[in-house]
Amino acid sequence: MKKFFNRSGKEYSSPGRNYERFTADPIDQFEKWFEDAVKHNVEMPDAMHLSTVGKEGRPSGRIVLLKGVDENGFVFFTNYESRKGRELEYNGYGALTFYWSGLHRQVRVEGDVKRIPEVESDRYFSSRPRESQLSAYASEQSRVIESREKFEEEVRFTEEKFKGVAIPRPAEWGGYRLIPFWIEFWQGRSHRLHDRIVYKLDEDNSWKMLRLYP
């Protein structure tokens, strides 16, 4: 039998969270926690794990970056023809996980995923560094490629093609918005007596707050 890892000696030191300390709107609460992560210099607070499911019913996950959040949901960008893009187009649902280890906090988000308007994708693409634009244009994300040299050659070809002119957003690249119907806030506490506060979207489009066993 393989060895099990046991690092249970580490304790969480958070004072915990009560209902009255949470806002009625989960997006407002997320923004408060995100600001805390930034304030406490958590490395890459915008990094989030995106889970998707394809036709085979098997989940897949990867880290992507949060590029915007408001009352409409959480925005990220990718190649529409990548594995995650194909799975989102097929399934239409996704899940996000944020983990801010320095604060002993985790946020899980589940919801519908839809493409954002093309004008918004155009605006964001034009704001990216030119090197990132070149990479997005040259990459057939998630497809098999024969070598690293082949990809670098394609990047150089793209750079020469658009020398001295703006690089247009590739038609297969753009943004998605995850529109949440479930958001869970997890706060680590001592002796594994953690806090789990969930916001669940009801049929009347209002948020209901629940507490879960840890």
Q: Considering only the C-alpha atoms of the chain, give the largest distance between any 2 of them, rounded to a whole number of Å.
A: 61
Determine the angle formed by the axes of helices 148-161 and 130-138, rounding to 10 degrees.
120
Catalytic-labelled residue, pool 128, 192, 196, 211 = 192
The answer to whether 143 touches 180, Cβ cutoff 8 Å, is no
Whether the CA torsion 135, 139, 142, 147 is positive or negative: it is negative
Nearest Cα residue to 62 out of 30, 38, 104, 97: 97
What string of DSSP letters covers 82-116? SHHHHHHHHH-EEEEEEEEGGGTEEEEEEEEEEEP
174: phi then psi, degrees, rounded to nearest 5: 175, -165
Residue 84 has which token pair? Answer: 């995650």
Locate all alpha helices (DSSP H) within the chain, ordered by sequence.
Answer: 26-39, 83-91, 118-127, 130-138, 148-161
Residue 128 annotated as catalytic: no
Cα gap 116→82, rounded to integer Å: 17
Catalytic residue numbers, as ranges: 192
